[in-house]
Amino acid sequence: MTFRAMHMLAAAFGMTLLGAAPALAQGIDAVFDQYFGYATGWFVNIIFYTFNIFGYDFPWIVGWLVAGAMVFTIYFGFVQFKMVPHAIALVKGDYSDPNDAGEVSHFQALATALSGTVGLGNIAGVAVAVGVGGPGATFWMILAGLLGMASKFTECTLGVKYRNEYDDGTVSGGPMYYMTKGFAERGLPGGKFLGVMFAIFCILGSWGGGNMFQSNQAHAQLSNVIGDYPGWITGVIFAGIVFLVIIGGLKSIASVTEKVVPFMGILYVGTALIIILMNFNMIGTAFGQIISGAFTESGIVGGAIGALIQGFRRAAFSNEAGVGSAAIAHSAVRTKEPITEGFVSLLEPFIDTVVICTMTALVIVITGQLVTDPATGMFVLDEAGEAIKTLDGSSGVALTSAAFSSTFSWFRYVLVVAVVLFAFSTMISWSYYGLKAWTYLFGEGQTKEIIYKLLFCFFVFLGATIQLGSVLDFSDAAIFAMAVVNIIALYFLMPIVKVELSSYVSRLRSGEIRKFA
């Protein structure tokens, strides 16, 4: 329904406005792109500053995220592998007190956090990773997803432990609260400073990756299917709908999206599986390319290190482990044990990255979208020399679309609905995360909140209007800046999580914590 309405609106706009001033419309796009690049370039450069390691440029931020995930993995004794069965039991509600029925369940907290993370990173971001880094990027992406489970566990446990519960029964949680309260509890200085820094980056991230990247790629997919038209049309429509939901209080749109998104996710993974099974004779070759591309030269820019960088970068952007955003979403759960939500949140990077992202990558690889040189078996680069040449020259979301459509031509229409819905649910989630950071900085109040929300709508518009390059860079930079601050805080606060973990595990073993019959 939503899509059809937008399609009609887009067509109507197209006929009245575009016919009159096509050149002007395209001009606005280009001008926005240019100035946006000027305005944000310095920030992007700091976050993506690269070190030269063995002759390859390695962004320090990628190392930062993976190092953090590895520290948490080792410090908590591979919690992401040991506690998965318990996490599933928690989500099923085996350990939930029936008298708490009607409160936020583990399942609901997980589902809401997931619909915030499952977005275009899974569809478009992975296509970028595989397009630039080759099939080998998939291997590193899965590894980063598995490691990231430990980061997510740490931040979500802290998010619940240090949330604010107000007299009226509402809760607010997230990194800015565990930074302030957790540091104070341990007698450490600087908690407030970190909290403020995090909140600033969270607001920027909510305008970047949680917003502009989403509307940008949704527009890319829409124009891919219904024909090229200027981005500002999508921008105006998207911003209008987001306005209705977050300012107009039209809750029904958000609720419907929240209910449809999980089914789109299942449909997406299901279709990917069918395509993989239909090309089962290619499965061996695809896995061969993924493994060999992860460790050896395969013709892509940067070789195996290039694959690693792309894989890690996209995994982090997609599952947001270590970024701190999920700690905001998970903190509303009803539980007496904060660590239970940590266990549940382990599943999030697994579902997001190890399952959904991998499906996208496999479909692109298995359907042979990436062009290889028959003589050498190496991948062929495109004219710009930056990414692997694809069958029809597409990249990003269009590449995913081409891969799925090569088997099911109708899937591009399903994908456009999925993209729009995923983009929308991610925007709604991020508008909430950003607002929490905003109220942490400026305090609560109707006018203050409306200012944030209006700015949010403006960035929805901007995201669809300007070109991929500068949007993608700024989106990543803003979200990764959150991770810089968040992981510092996690290092200082992880002993608190360790105490909770040992206490919980020993009570679980002794039978003090039991399933409700």
Partner 1 sequence: MSRKIVVGFDGSEASHRALDFATTRAKAQGDSIVIAHVLEWSPYSFLTPNELEERHKRRQEELTRAETAILAPVTAKVEAAGVPVSTVLKYGHIAETLVQIAKDEDAALIMIGRMGHSGLSSRIFGSVAGTLAQVAPVPVTIVP
Is residue 381 a contact point for partner 1 (CB under 8 A)? no
Rg of the chain, C-alpha, whole Å? 22
Report the nearest approach of partner 1 to the CB of residue 380 (Å).
44
Query: Residue 379: beta bridge partners?
Result: 372
Structure tokens, 476: 């990543």
Compare residues 203 and 361 and give the one whose CB is closer to partner 1. Answer: 203
Which residue among 44, 120, 290, 428 contacts partner 1 (CB under 8 A)? Answer: 428
E strands in 142-279? 164-165, 171-172
C-alpha distance from residue 50 to each of 70, 206, 312, 331 (Å): 20, 25, 15, 35
Among candidates 110, 62, 151, which has minimal Cα distance to 489?
A: 151
Is residue 172 a contact point for partner 1 (CB under 8 A)? yes
Residues 6+ apart with CB under 8 A from 280: none
Report the nearest approach of partner 1 to the CB of residue 174 (Å).
11
Is residue 103 a contact point for partner 1 (CB under 8 A)? yes
Q: How far apart are CA 408 and CA 275, in angstroms?
A: 8
Is residue 259 a contact point for partner 1 (CB under 8 A)? yes
Compare residues 169 and 374 and give the one whose CB is closer to partner 1. Answer: 169
Compare residues 73 and 214 and give the one whose CB is closer to partner 1. Answer: 214
Among candidates 328, 310, 316, which has minimal Cα distance to 434?
A: 328
Compare residues 14 and 262 and give the one whose CB is closer to partner 1. Answer: 262
Report the nearest approach of partner 1 to the CB of residue 101 (Å).
4
Compare residues 262 and 368 and give the one whose CB is closer to partner 1. Answer: 262
Report the nearest approach of partner 1 to the CB of residue 93 (Å).
5
Which residue among 19, 55, 169, 511 contacts partner 1 (CB under 8 A)? Answer: 169
Compare residues 36 and 95 and give the one whose CB is closer to partner 1. Answer: 95
Report the nearest approach of partner 1 to the CB of residue 454 (Å).
18
The stretch near partner 1 (CB under 8 A) out of 12-20, 26-34, 100-108, 117-125 is 100-108
Is residue 325 a contact point for partner 1 (CB under 8 A)? no
Q: Which residue has the tokens 């502009």?
A: 212
DSSP string across 432-443: HHHHHHHHHHH-
Q: How far apart are CA 287 and CA 25, in angstroms?
A: 45
Report the nearest approach of partner 1 to the CB of residue 433 (Å).
8
Is residue 98 a contact point for partner 1 (CB under 8 A)? yes
Which residue among 122, 223, 395, 429 contacts partner 1 (CB under 8 A)? Answer: 429
Site size with partner 1, rule: CB under 8 A: 37
Report the nearest approach of partner 1 to the CB of residue 240 (Å).
19
Is residue 93 a contact point for partner 1 (CB under 8 A)? yes
Report the nearest approach of partner 1 to the CB of residue 253 (Å).
10
Structure tokens, 390: 């694809």
User: Which conformational region is residue 335 in: left (phi greater than 0), alpha (psi within -120 to 50 degrees), or beta?
Assistant: beta
Is residue 258 a contact point for partner 1 (CB under 8 A)? yes
C-alpha distance from residue 175 to each of 273, 300, 331 (Å): 36, 38, 10
Compare residues 104 and 269 and give the one whose CB is closer to partner 1. Answer: 104
Query: Residue 57: beta bridge partners?
Result: 52
- Beta-sheet pairing, 50-53 with 56-59: antiparallel
Q: By rule CB under 8 A, what string of x and - marks binding of each residue 216-255 to partner 1?
A: -----------------------------------x--xx
Residues 6+ apart with CB under 8 A from 115: 258, 261, 262, 425, 426, 429
Report the nearest approach of partner 1 to the CB of residue 515 (Å).
15
C-alpha distance from residue 212 to each of 45, 131, 205, 326, 470 (Å): 19, 21, 9, 19, 10
Cα of first residue to Cα of last residue in the chain, in angstroms, is 43
Which residue among 11, 18, 171, 188 contacts partner 1 (CB under 8 A)? Answer: 171
Compare residues 116 and 121 and give the one whose CB is closer to partner 1. Answer: 116
Is residue 96 a contact point for partner 1 (CB under 8 A)? yes
Residue 59: what are its φ and ψ, rounded to 5°? Answer: -65, 130
The stretch near partner 1 (CB under 8 A) out of 102-110, 441-449, 466-474, 496-504 is 102-110
Q: Which of residues 36-75 bind partner 1 (CB under 8 A)?
A: none
Is 344 in contact with 80 (CB distance < 8 Å)? no
Compare residues 255 and 502 and give the one whose CB is closer to partner 1. Answer: 255
The stretch near partner 1 (CB under 8 A) out of 51-59, 346-354, 426-434, 456-464 is 426-434
Is residue 289 a contact point for partner 1 (CB under 8 A)? no
Q: Which of residues 447-476 bind partner 1 (CB under 8 A)?
A: none
Structure tokens, 127: 């296509």
Q: Which of residues 104-163 bind partner 1 (CB under 8 A)?
A: 104-109, 111-112, 115-116
Compare residues 76 and 422 and give the one whose CB is closer to partner 1. Answer: 422
Residue 256: what are its φ and ψ, rounded to 5°? Answer: -65, -45
Show the 3-state SS of 78-124: CHHHHCHHHHHHHHHCCCCCHHHECECCHHHHHHHHHHHHCCHHHHH
Compare residues 254 and 388 and give the one whose CB is closer to partner 1. Answer: 254
Q: How far apart are CA 211 and CA 189, in angstroms?
A: 33
Q: How far apart are CA 210 and CA 214, in angstroms?
A: 7
User: Given the rule CB under 8 A, which residues bind partner 1?
Assistant: 93, 96, 98, 101-109, 111-112, 115-116, 168-172, 251, 254-255, 258-259, 261-262, 328-329, 332-334, 428-429, 432-433
